[in-house]
A and B are shown apart, each in its own frame.
Chain A
Amino acid sequence: GDSVTQMEGPVTLSEEAFLTINCTYTATGYPSLFWYVQYPGEGLQLLLKATKADDKGSNKGFEATYRKETTSFHLEKGSVQVSDSAVYFCALTNSGGSNYKLTFGKGTLLTVNP
């Protein structure tokens, strides 16, 4: 079945540091890839997405590129802020079969210190 593997963390950075959270996937067909963010005490919010190979999703300074050759969708940000502290989830959906669900990675806790 489909699966998502992401760097588990926790990740602790200083403000303005560079962030990378690795995500790789296993899926049949042509999945769409997503990053969701969960701020403390809140629900899941879509951060960015990419629907086909070589697409780059971007939002709020975060970027991720859909790399089919390496089955990866790594999340990056050039300069993190304290307000970016949250749990980040990589996820996919797959219309290649009967999969109507989001498959999530285990989440990566990011803490940014001033």
Chain B
Amino acid sequence: EPEVTQTPSHQVTQMGQEVILRCVPISNHLYFYWYRQILGQKVEFLVSFYNNEISEKSEIFDDQFSVERPDGSNFTLKIRSTKLEDSAMYFCASSVDVNTEAFFGQGTRLTVV
């Protein structure tokens, strides 16, 4: 069964460093998303991506964040100059269409120390 895969599963980084979280969406999906979940709390939308550009982003997704689809399969989230409060589980998701279910990856746990 096709699935969304994320790497790494756990990333520890020092405050101020840059991190790149990687995702491989399901191959025939056209919409890609990043969400985050802090300490098992509410899942928060960060950004959606379609046709090689950002469709929508939340107020959380400021200049510190960027997304890229560098090739036909990967979808990355870059966080520049990480802060302690960026520590969270980051989920990638993809969907065929805007109004269909999104399939989520297992997540990357980011710990900023």
A residues adjacent to B (C-beta < 8 A): 32, 34, 36, 42-46, 49, 51, 87, 89, 93-95, 98-107
Q: In the complex, which of the residues A98, A99, A101, A106 contacts B41, with contact meaning CB atoms closer than 8 Å?
A: A106
B107, closest chain A residue (CB): A43
Alpha-carbon gap, A6 to B103, bound state (A):
21
68-113 of chain B: CB within 8 A of chain A: 91, 93, 98-107
State which size class the interface on B falls in.
20 to 34
Q: In the complex, which of the residues A42, A49, A89, A99 contacts B43, with contact meaning CB atoms closer than 8 Å?
A: A89
Q: Is B50 located at the chain interface by the 8 A CB criterion?
A: yes
A49 touching B48, Cβ below 8 Å: no
How distant is A97 from chain B, measured CB to nearest CB, in Å? 10
Q: In the complex, which of the residues A34, A45, A101 contacts B45, with contact meaning CB atoms closer than 8 Å?
A: A101
A30, closest chain B residue (CB): B99
Alpha-carbon gap, A102 to B100, bound state (A):
10
B residues adjacent to A (C-beta < 8 A): 31, 33, 35, 40-45, 48, 50, 55-56, 58, 91, 93, 98-107
**Chain A hits for B56, CB < 8 A:** 98-101
Q: Given the known inter-chain contacts A43-B105, A98-B56, A101-B48, please indicate yes or no for A106 contacting B42, CB distance below 8 A.
A: yes
**Chain A hits for B101, CB < 8 A:** 34, 46, 49
Q: Given the known inter-chain contacts A43-B104, A43-B107, A101-B48, please indicate yes or no for A51 contacting B91, CB distance below 8 A.
A: no
Q: In the complex, which of the residues B40, B42, B99, B104 contacts A93, with contact meaning CB atoms closer than 8 Å?
A: B99
**Chain B hits for A87, CB < 8 A:** 40
**Chain A hits for B58, CB < 8 A:** 101
Q: In the complex, which of the residues A34, A46, A99, A107 contacts B42, with contact meaning CB atoms closer than 8 Å?
A: A107
